[in-house]
């Protein structure tokens, strides 16, 4: 149980184009999903917290107009990287918190999406 999927697993795009990444909780409902990015040999950096049916909360330094997040249902959140540039190339990982209501609830992570912007 508690499986999170991401699609696509990798994507290569040209500079200036937009890319959408999907994150799905397959066997549980998640009111809250999270988006992280990870650079090589570094720890995960939280980009934003996404709550179903409301606007995402972005961490300091993350451009909300560049990284558009939509959480339309209890099982799906999307991250759109708009007008991508080479510096946006990274490993993007989503996580979902099991719907149970407590701050100690486990976050389950997706397999990640490798974005390469040429």
Binding site for other proteins (CB under 8 A): 2, 4, 6, 32, 34, 43-44, 46, 49, 59, 91, 93, 95, 97, 102-112, 114
- Report d(CA 53, CA 47) in Å as an integer: 18
The C-alpha atoms of residue 95 and residue 112 are separated, in whole angstroms, by 9
Q: Closer to other proteins by CB, 16 or 111: give it.
A: 111
Is 44 or 68 the residue whose CB approaches other proteins more closely? 44
**Quick one: 3 or 83, whose CB is closer to other proteins?**
3
Q: What is the Cα–Cα distance from 11 to 29, expressed in whole angstroms? A: 27
DSSP 8-state symbol, 59: P
Quick check: 91 and 48 in contact, CB under 8 A? no
CB of 53 to other proteins, least distance (A): 16
Q: Report the nearest approach of other proteins to the CB of residue 83 (Å).
A: 26
């Amino acid at each position: 149980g508690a499986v999170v999927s991401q699609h696509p697993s990798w994507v290569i795009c040209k500079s200036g184009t937009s890319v959408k990444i999907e994150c799905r909780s397959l066997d549980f409902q998640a009111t809250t999903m999270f988006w992280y990015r990870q650079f090589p040999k570094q720890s995960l950096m939280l980009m934003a917290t996404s709550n179903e049916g409301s606007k995402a909360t972005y961490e300091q330094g993350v451009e909300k107009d560049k990284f558009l997040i939509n959480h339309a249902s209890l099982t799906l959140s999307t991250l759109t990287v708009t007008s991508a540039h080479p510096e946006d190339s990274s490993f993007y990982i989503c996580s979902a918190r099991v719907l149970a209501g407590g701050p100690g609830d486990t976050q389950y992570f997706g397999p990640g999406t490798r974005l390469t912007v040429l």
